[in-house]
Amino acid sequence: MSDLYIYNSYTREKEKFEPLVPGYVGLYVCGPTVSGESHLGHARPYITFDVVNRYLQYLGYKVRYVRNITDAGHFEEEGREAEDKVATKALLERLEPMELVHKYTNLFHWGMRLFNTLDPSIEPTATGHVIEQINMIQDIIEKGYAYEVNGSVYFDVKKYAEHFPYGKLSGRVLDDQLETTRELDGQEEKRNKADFALWKNAPPEHIMRWTSPWGEGFPGWHIECSAMSSKYLGQVFDIHGGGMDLQFPHHESEIAQSTIAHGHAPVRYWMHNNMITINGKKMGKSYNNVIKLTELFSGNHPMLEQPYHPMVVRFYILQTHYRSTLDFSNEALQASERALRRLWEGYEVLKKLNHPGNTEAQDKALDKKVTDWCRECDEFMNDDFNTARVVANLFELVPVINGMKGGQIKLNAISADTFTLLSQTFKSYMEDILGLQPLAQEQGDKLDKVLSLLIDIRKDARTRKDFATSDQIRNKLTEAGITLKDEKDGSVSYTIE
RNA sequence: GGUCGCGUAGCCGAGUGGCUAGGCAAAGCUCUGCAAAAGCUUCUACAGCGGUUCGAAUCCGCUCGCGACCUCCA
């Protein structure tokens, strides 16, 4: 098999992937900030890197996948902000930070389960690693690259840039950063505008606070990822992933902090997924155009024409390369739904086919096509995880499978080996790598028996040419979301929406 | 303003300089009691203008349009 190449955002080139320790991969992905509900835009990195994780495992690597939960910071729940600041409220009337964080962490996990993402190996929380963060900040201060002002600690970016390539990841020039005219909170405390906070002093009304060498406060946004990634993956690790919008300042800051604390850059391959847009604009809280996962799955949103199944959303995301923007529309989602249904049904049909076992293919040209389409899937994945091309190849194979079922193509047209390859490719890609699942829930025995009865009654009616009855059964079932299909061999199958 | 990226058929979207990706939609045909599903066929596009080249969607330049980051952001 060809080698895996990954587009490294740091060098802006596709590079051959070689893990630090042969056979093992350390993968870190920036997780959610659990101060609010996850939306469609958030789904993209977690599905993208789920496939990265799955594919690395498919290649035989032992992956340690770390994805953090950002549960520390300046948190407020919408609509409750004002109340929280009133200290006179009774304890149970106020919002506990832990309560808020717990609620949205659970909701996030709920969404991830529906998307069929594999659990990370470790899901560390920022609040659980305050000590590690404080230690790392102290280390940076001792090395002379951070300074304390009024109980807050800032990283000295200007000094760092004199010795290290600050801005390389995000393609930024420090001089421009120093001239930024923006007025931000705590700006006057910084020596330079490009400096960023490692630790923030907590004002009296701030709900999250910890004791530190610099007084009561809370960690800066960037330090948690540096502290937790180095703890669980080492000072240097293989892959760090996240959304493109995190490149600056978040990931740039991570590099700076870790470089000072550990003496070398932390990450060997940086991967960034592109954004999901809606009407051409990035989906984001500040644009006021988000569709939350709960809304997406229920259809309960003014922009949604219908609910969308989590698998449809997953498939829709994987039909595009992860470094391209992906525009949301009802039309696109609906097209994905039909496409996924067709693809999955093709897979179900394939599972039921039995090859006669001939070693010689009767149709050499088709045999070769099928073999190539299957083998190309690995090549496409090796080319920076091109799931879009993989999906296209699977679709090339669907008519072959359906043709075999329908009799237009003889099963012995391809060899037994090729048929095995075809089956394995579908199994590996549909289930293990792309992580797809059937849209319909698995139905229990009872419904199956009821439907068998109805199918038998309808069959009798048809043999008596009582089409009124047979059509009534079929139409009523269709209304209930159950589609009957009369197969060529006289049998009847059904699909449930 | 700075940095970076994008503009592909009705829609969504791949695309390594030469070999019509794929999906959805649409049309026709086959199969079927009728449907549905499936199969076959049709629809040959690369923002515009120059340039490099035997040959460009793909490389270069300019123009137009759009977006991302520079602030919390997946």
Complex confidence, ipTM: 0.95
Percentage above 90 pLDDT, chain A: 76
**A422/A425 Cα distance (integer angstroms):** 5
pLDDT at A176 (0 to 100):
65
Least confident of A230-234, A353-357, A408-412, A442-446: A442-446
Taking the domain A278-433, which CATH number applies? 1.10.730
Asked if A317 contacts A44 with a C-beta cutoff of 8 angstroms, the reply is yes
A471 touches strand B (CB under 7 A): yes
A403 touches strand B (CB under 7 A): yes
pLDDT at A495 (0 to 100):
85
A180 touches strand B (CB under 7 A): yes
pLDDT at A88 (0 to 100):
53
> Residue A115, by phi and psi: left (phi above 0), alpha (psi -120 to 50) or beta?
alpha
Q: For residue A249, is the peptide bond before it cis, meaning its omega torsion is within 30 degrees of 0?
A: yes
Asked whether the CA dihedral A475, A480, A486, A490 is positive or negative, the reply is: negative
A402 touches strand B (CB under 7 A): yes
Percentage above 70 pLDDT, chain A: 93
pLDDT band, residue A411 (cuts 50/70/90) = very high
pLDDT band, residue A279 (cuts 50/70/90) = confident
A350 touches strand B (CB under 7 A): no
Per-residue pLDDT, averaged over A91-115, amounts to: 87
**A468/A88 Cα distance (integer angstroms):** 72
Domain parsing of chain A, residue ranges: 5-273, 278-433, 445-496
The secondary element (H helix, E strand) that includes residue A233 is helix A223-233
A258 touches strand B (CB under 7 A): no
Chain B nucleotides reached by a protein CB under 7 Å: 1-6, 11-15, 21-25, 31-40, 66-74
Taking 80 as the threshold, does the pLDDT of residue A197 lie above it? Answer: yes
Taking 90 as the threshold, does the pLDDT of residue A3 lie above it? Answer: yes
Per-residue pLDDT, averaged over A215-239, amounts to: 96
Per-residue pLDDT, averaged over A219-229, amounts to: 95
Residue of A417, A382, A376 lying closest to A397 (CA atoms): A376
When mean pLDDT is compared over A88-92, A185-189, A368-372, the highest value belongs to A368-372
Q: Residue A163 corresponds to which tokens in the numbers above?
A: 């010795």
pLDDT at A408 (0 to 100):
92
Distance A198 CA to B1 C1' (A): 29
Q: From the alpha carbon of A287, which nucleotide's C1' atom is closest?
A: B73
Taking 70 as the threshold, does the pLDDT of residue A178 lie above it? Answer: no
A168 touches strand B (CB under 7 A): no
Distance A386 CA to B31 C1' (A): 37
Taking 50 as the threshold, does the pLDDT of residue A85 lie above it? Answer: no
Per-residue pLDDT, averaged over A41-62, amounts to: 97
Distances (CA, A) of A336 to A52, A310, A415, A440: 21, 11, 32, 15
A251 touches strand B (CB under 7 A): no
pLDDT at A444 (0 to 100):
76
pLDDT at A76 (0 to 100):
59
pLDDT at A304 (0 to 100):
95
Taking 50 as the threshold, does the pLDDT of residue A86 lie above it? Answer: no
∠ at Cα A220 (A151, A140), nearest 5°?
75
What are the residues whose beta carbons fall under 8 Å from the beta carbon of A355, sequence distance 6 or more? A411, A412, A414, A416, A419, A420
Distance A464 CA to B52 C1' (A): 75
pLDDT in tens, A303-322: 999 999 999 999 999 999 99
Q: From the alpha carbon of A331, which nucleotide's C1' atom is closest?
A: B11
A48 touches strand B (CB under 7 A): no
* Residue A32, number of CB atoms within 10 A of its CB: 23
Taking 80 as the threshold, does the pLDDT of residue A219 lie above it? Answer: yes
A491 touches strand B (CB under 7 A): no
Q: Residue A392 corresponds to which tokens in the numbers above?
A: 């296209």
Tell me how far apart the terminal alpha carbons of chain A are, to the nearest angstrom: 39
Distances (CA, A) of A328 to A187, A288, A305, A325, A334: 37, 15, 12, 10, 11
Distance A395 CA to B24 C1' (A): 13
pLDDT band, residue A82 (cuts 50/70/90) = very low
pLDDT at A381 (0 to 100):
97
**A405/A400 Cα distance (integer angstroms):** 9
Exposure string of A415-445, with b = 16+ CB inside 10 Å and e = fewer, is: bbebbebbbebbebbbeebbbbbbbeeeeee
Distance A13 CA to B16 C1' (A): 15
pLDDT band, residue A480 (cuts 50/70/90) = confident
Q: Which residue has the higher pLDDT, A106 or A446?
A: A106
Q: Taking the C1' atom of B36, which residue's CA lies nearest?
A: A485
A282 touches strand B (CB under 7 A): yes
pLDDT at A481 (0 to 100):
85
pLDDT in tens, A118-173: 999 999 999 999 999 999 999 999 999 999 999 999 999 999 999 999 999 988 87
**A106/A314 Cα distance (integer angstroms):** 20
Q: Which residue has the higher pLDDT, A75 or A72?
A: A72
Per residue, what are the HEC states of A367-397? HHHHHHHHHHHHHHHHECCCHHHHHHHHHHH
> Burial level of A166, CB count in 10 A (0-12/13-18/19+)?
buried
pLDDT at A89 (0 to 100):
55
Q: Could you name the CATH architecture of A5-273?
A: 3-Layer(aba) Sandwich (3.40)
What are the residues whose beta carbons fall under 8 Å from the beta carbon of A72, sequence distance 6 or more? A125, A126, A127, A130, A208, A218, A219, A224
Chain A window 72-131, residues with Cβ within 7 A of nucleic strand B: none
pLDDT band, residue A208 (cuts 50/70/90) = confident
Taking 60 as the threshold, does the pLDDT of residue A77 lie above it? Answer: no
Distance A223 CA to B29 C1' (A): 65
Chain A window 196-235, residues with Cβ within 7 A of nucleic strand B: 196, 221
Per-residue pLDDT, averaged over A7-32, amounts to: 95
pLDDT at A365 (0 to 100):
93
Taking 80 as the threshold, does the pLDDT of residue A9 lie above it? Answer: yes
**A327/A175 Cα distance (integer angstroms):** 35
pLDDT at A99 (0 to 100):
85
